[in-house]
Structure 1
Amino acid sequence: MFYHQISILLASVLEWETQDSVEAIAGIQQGLDDFNAGKFRSFDEYAAEQRQNSSQQAVGEKPEEPNAT
């Protein structure tokens, strides 16, 4: 009985790991597709947005939504 429970647990963990990998690969592919389509911004733009959002959160304001460029 104990070995059967361990087998079920291991199967569940492996299934989760597989799903996690599939989702990670899909996210990476989406990022590459966006980059190839010109949908990206410079690090300086990103850093400025993060600074702005951080200062807004410090005073309780809602951060702006990122631009979809």
Structure 2
Amino acid sequence: MHAIEQAARRARAEEFRRLFAVGARKLKALIARGATAFASKVRGTYAPARHGTPRYVTQAPRRGRP
């Protein structure tokens, strides 16, 4: 009887670990999506990602020669 209870306890713990891992992956993806959206709002959609002076969406486009 004790062995059956231990096996059931192990199965529940394993299921909890599996569900926790899935939830952690989903949370990580959600955070990454939110950070990407926030960065695009702050930086501007048309701004270069990592180099040069960022040009924000609210600025007027440049005219004339580059």
Structure with more helix by fraction: 1
Is residue 2:17 matched to residue 1:20? no
Structure 2, unaligned stretches of length 5 or more?
1-6, 47-66
RMSD (Å) for aligned C-alpha atoms: 1.9
Counterpart residue identity of residue 6, structure 1? R
Q: Compute the TM-score of the two structures, normalised by the length of structure 2.
A: 0.55
Task: For residue 39 of structure 1, give the secondary structure of its aligned residue in structure 2.
Answer: coil
Moved >4 Å (runs of 4+):
none
Q: Compute the TM-score of the two structures, normalised by the length of structure 1.
A: 0.53
Residue by residue, what CA displacement relative to the aligned partner does 1:27-54 show, whole Å, maximum 9, x if unpaired? 00000111112228xxxxxxxxxxxxxx
Structure 1, unaligned stretches of length 5 or more?
41-69
Aligned positions, number: 41
